[in-house]
Structure 1
Amino acid sequence: MGVVIWSNGRLHGPEDLLLSGVDHGLTVGDGVFETCAVYDGTAFALSRHLRRLERSALGLGLAAPDEGAVREGVAAVLADAGPEVGRLRITLTGGPGPLGSHRFAPEEQRQSILVLAGPGARSEVSRVVRVPWVRNERSSVAGLKTTSYAENVVAVAEAYRRGADEAVLANTVGELCEGTASNVFVERDGELVTPPLSSGCLAGITRELLLEWSAAVGLPVREAAPGELRYEVLDEVADGSAHLMMSGSIRNVSPVVSLDGVDIDAGPVSLEAQRLFQARLADDLDP
């Protein structure tokens, strides 16, 4: 299937020209976005994603998105996309702006909103590599889901070059942080531990739900204390004394079976977390 796009109250095809050449999202990456998995024609956890879209927009200094317009676009693309659709993307930019990084005055701004639906391939397992680049946990956009994605493009290209599907990053002080488009969990001593938001990682929706759902059933999944997970913990994963798991909106909860090109075992708690997430997902598509 192709990609269906909604913008300004109308449906469009992928070849339609929708943005100005001076759109600030295009010229300087002044925008935010969300990606949702789609099941049976419904965007999963849409309300949580829309709340995070607003947080990212406000954190970037943009006005809050028009939720009614976004939901209109979501309904339109999902109705038109057909049953095989697997992914939804919502993008909000600052709209037409100056060629430099400064924005027009608020009263002159005209945001661009695009909603897209298309295919979304999933895999039950992940294959990851370590890369030399880091997340800046002190960045002005740390924890925001912005369209300024060049660092991720470079890192995931390196992962694919090495036969993996994700890269795992440290932050500037040597703590384990996140993947390019996923959160990371380390399984050791019978529990799953994920870096705290202070590490600079994104507050992932799947991460959030797994923490909530695990607490409800007593599965040992928790957020680490600051500094608890050093990047060197991946050496323990490599030698088999610990395990690794990734989470994200398309991959859901995905045990890691390869690190730096070497096969590793999925951990038992990781596999149980995967089963729990899939079961709860089926119960409620907008938890």
Structure 2
Amino acid sequence: MDTDRMDTRVVLWADGRLRRADEAIATGVDHGLTVGDGVFETCAVYGGQAFALTRHLRRLARSAAGLGLPEPDEDEVRAATQAVLAAAPDAGRLRITYTGGPGPLGSNRLPAPEQRATLVVLAGPAVRAETSRVVRVPWVRNERSAVAGLKTTSYAENVVALAAAYRQGADEAVLANSRDELCEGTGSNVFVERDGELLTPPLDSGCLAGITRELLLEWAAEAGLPAREAVLPYAVLDDVAAGRAHLLLSGSIRNVSPVVSLDRADVAAGGLSLEAQRLFQARLADDLDP
């Protein structure tokens, strides 16, 4: 099981240049550290190139705007990305973090003219598994949250839920929203294979607009694979447990991954799920920035 421990192969860029992985790069009053006032993106890396970077940078800008941060300098982010990937030719993961920069100890920010955002870009290893093991957890997503749908660095609830999954031998936790609808995983989107279709919760469920989810819906439509958005009760996971439906996860590092264990019990990967996995891998190989 990959626990994402600190790795000496991580290459880091901050404040205009490459840095050592153990080098101090942020002030203790950075708002990203004190109150989680920041956004981020994670991209898979293949052959030294970040996958779907343009889409990820688009979402980074949307998340920053939703949080009220200044717009990231895309040219700077791309230059930093090139620098870390050139220095880490075997990297499997790219992480872009953008925070509000130095600020007060409270939740309020400095006046706009005094704000100086922080940008940190990392490249490092990644471990991918073709299948996933998930558990249900008692916590929910708030689809009415001020940051619903934004990829923010305020990740504590995901840390808690994922730790609960790891303790049960799983690698992901799946959450409902406050309406008791299926929502998402801590770092993944979910698809349910049922009645000959792949169904994924709509964005107003409170789930993140995942890049892999987005691409799978687009590519499935082009390939004639039945996949669409649909509101699903959280109890649909009972159907997965009983073998009447199947579960599929999507995410930037796991790509498209059929679920083979739910709540510590084996479940079967669905035929459509496996077909979607093959489709995604084939299309990925055709274009690394679709």
TM-score, reference length from structure 1: 0.98
Q: Which residue of 1 aligns with 2:264?
A: 261
Query: Any idea what SS the aligned residue of 1:116 has?
Result: strand
- Deviations along 1:131-174, one digit per CA (max 9) or x if unpaired, are 00000000000000000000000000000000000000000010
- Are residues 1:199 and 2:202 paired? no
The alpha-carbon deviation at position 52 of structure 1 amounts to 0.0
The alpha-carbon deviation at position 217 of structure 1 amounts to 1.1
Query: Any idea what SS the aligned residue of 1:29 has?
Result: coil
The alpha-carbon deviation at position 77 of structure 1 amounts to 0.1
Aligned length: 283
Q: Which residue of 1 aligns with 2:3?
A: none
- Are residues 1:164 and 2:167 paired? no
Q: Which residue of 1 aligns with 2:288?
A: 285
Q: Which residue of 2 aligns with 1:243?
A: 246
- Are residues 1:72 and 2:72 paired? no
- Are residues 1:14 and 2:36 paired? no
Which amino acid in structure 2 is aligned with residue 251 of structure 1? R
Q: Matches of 2:160 and 2:223 in 1, distance apart? A: 39
Q: Which residue of 1 aligns with 2:277?
A: 274
Q: 2:159 aligns with which of 145, 150, 153?
A: 153
Spell out structure 1 runs of 4+ moving beyond 2 A. none
* Within-5 A mapping of 1:1-287: 2-82=9-89, 84-224=90-230, 228-287=231-290
Which amino acid in structure 2 is aligned with residue 108 of structure 1? E
Q: Matches of 1:270 and 1:63 in 2, distance apart? A: 39
Which amino acid in structure 1 is aligned with residue 239 of structure 2? E
Identity %: 74
Query: Any idea what SS the aligned residue of 2:165 has?
Result: helix
- Deviations along 1:212-239, one digit per CA (max 9) or x if unpaired, are 0000111001111xxx300000000000
Q: Matches of 1:117 and 1:102 in 2, distance apart? A: 31
Which amino acid in structure 2 is aligned with residue 146 of structure 1? T
Structure 2 residues not aligned, in runs of 5+: 1-7
The alpha-carbon deviation at position 14 of structure 1 amounts to 1.3
The alpha-carbon deviation at position 278 of structure 1 amounts to 0.1
Query: Any idea what SS the aligned residue of 2:280 has?
Result: helix
The alpha-carbon deviation at position 9 of structure 1 amounts to 1.4
Which amino acid in structure 1 is aligned with residue 156 of structure 2? A
TM-score, reference length from structure 2: 0.97
Q: Matches of 1:69 and 1:133 in 2, distance apart? A: 38
Which amino acid in structure 2 is aligned with residue 140 of structure 1? A
Q: Matches of 2:110 and 2:244 in 1, distance apart? A: 54
Q: Matches of 1:189 and 1:169 in 2, distance apart? A: 22
